[in-house]
Amino acid sequence: MRFTDDLKARVSKAQKRIVLPETNSRRVLKAAERVLADGFAKIILIGSEEQIHKDAEKFQITLEGAEIIDPATYGRMDELCAYFAKRREKKGMTPEKAREIMLNNYTMFACGILALGDADGVVSGAATTSADVIRAGLQVIGPKPGNKTVSSAFILITNTPQYGDNGILVLGDCGVIPDPTAEQLADIATMCVDRARRTVQILNPKVAMLSYSTKGSGSGGSVDVVREAVEILKSRNVDFEFDGEIQADAAIVPEVGANKAPGSKVAGHANILIFPSLDAANIGYKLVQRFANATALGPLVQGLAKPVLDLSRGASAEDVADVVAVCCSDAIAVDKENEKISLSAKTLLPTQWEVARATIKAGDVLEGVVRNTTAFGAFVEVLPDVEGLVHISQISHERVTNVEDVLKKGDKVTVKVLEFDFENERLSLSIKELLEKPVKEEVKEEAEYDTSYLKDEDTSFNLGDKFKDIEL
């Protein structure tokens, strides 16, 4: 089962309403058909109902079950225009100007109905520039309260399980900030960790702050910014492993990491890569995507009050459908945050996770049942409504390439608790720890690497400012 299949299964119960405004795109209409067929979300399409059905018929696409909203006949248009005019009044916005924008810019309109609560998320960018998508998100929705940085991330799904988290990496910032400051890099790292935990369910995030230098092998202004970002993360006492400055090969290849950054807890094992600039990030992910035939989901905008997710204009219909699933996950997270805010101080009955906190600790051996399997492991229920992940690397001492070859839904298993993250309701479990380790002769070979080239490493960056015209 692909990562995205598991994600769709996790979000399907919520049935979030996701807006696809680019109804002039065959890929978007095809993605809507996929989502509706899979049934993990409700789809809202923007435009003329007659034209959308005409295009769907031409492309032989079935849109049964989709809601269509035409801005020209939207019942809350006066309310939406008043809201947008008020929000942008310092920029000279009037209800009349707002109406013209909302009638003609479908991405703006999609963000508008999201702001009014008639939708739970927006996915756009297949036929719209990233600048226009992000502008709509910033101007209509705005940043999350208290948040100073809006950035983006890519979820990179590769066929190389030796890298990242069983072949999956989170990359940032690939779409928003051309030349991030040290503080912005630290913010991006934190948001990408949240993305990795929430969307990808990476239980042990390891963040590499990338550079052309590793631990002083190079110098220059861009290196200094990365080093400063690392110091800022240290001062924040974040709850994840990070290291930098570090080169990309040292970040993901264990042998190179051990050579270039000995003693690092991240080097060679990073699953989250933070790039020093938009140039490096955008070029890097696209090269990997094409050369490695990897799936790149994004750019997934982070830091807005409600989910507005961008797409690469090269995204396939399948990619768009996958990003819809990510958008559902983000919308669920927003709901949880709002629930926390709205909770009163009244005494509540303990939740199942609170019960688990009182009864489960690291090192405990528990009986459980496999409830689901994914490409990266199996979810085991150890208490009612309390599930933990047995990562694929923790199933057996022998290498496991396909989880379902070893574990199936409904199997009863004995597991050991490796880690209990109560705040994020995550249990890290192991079956391997309870199995007798096979006896085999160990042969150690010392690898030698020529590091002389590091002395003269240098590069330069020519940064653009694609988003300088975006007004907050």
Give 176-216 pLDDT, tens digit per residue.
Answer: 999 999 999 999 999 999 999 999 999 899 999 999 999 98
Q: Would you give the DSSP letter of residue 214?
A: S
Give the residue extent of every domain in the chain.
3-141, 151-297, 352-434
Q: Specify the pLDDT at position 469.
A: 56
As a whole number of Å, the CA-based R_g of the chain is 24
Q: What is the mean pLDDT of residues 108-114?
A: 97
Give 141-162 pLDDT, tens digit per residue.
Answer: 999 888 889 999 999 999 999 9
Tokens of 25: 């795109």
Sheet of 67-69, strand order: 67-69, 42-46, 17-20, 121-124, 308-310
CA distance 370 to 365: 15
Domain 352-434 sits in CATH 2.40.50.140? yes
Q: Count of CB atoms within 10 A of residue 342's CB?
A: 7
Q: What is the DSSP string of 89-142?
A: GGGT--HHHHHHHHHH-HHHHHHHHHHTTS-SEEEE-SSS-HHHHHHHIIIII-
376 near 165, Cβ under 8 Å?
yes
CA distance 300 to 325: 12
| 3-141 and 352-434 agree in CATH topology | no
Q: Count of CB atoms within 10 A of residue 252's CB?
A: 24
Q: Would you give the DSSP letter of residue 200?
A: I
Report whether pLDDT(338) > 80.
Answer: no
Domain 3-141 sits in CATH 3.60.21.10? no
Give 20-66 pLDDT, tens digit per residue.
Answer: 999 999 999 999 999 999 999 999 999 999 999 999 999 999 999 99
Q: Specify the pLDDT at position 422.
A: 76
463 near 282, Cβ under 8 Å?
no
Give 458-470 pLDDT, tens digit per residue.
Answer: 444 343 454 555 5
Q: What is the mean pLDDT of residues 80-91?
A: 94
CA distance 116 to 106: 15
Report whether pLDDT(356) > 70.
Answer: yes
CATH number of 151-297: 3.40.50.10750
Among 226-240, 287-301, 368-382, the range of highest mean pLDDT:
226-240
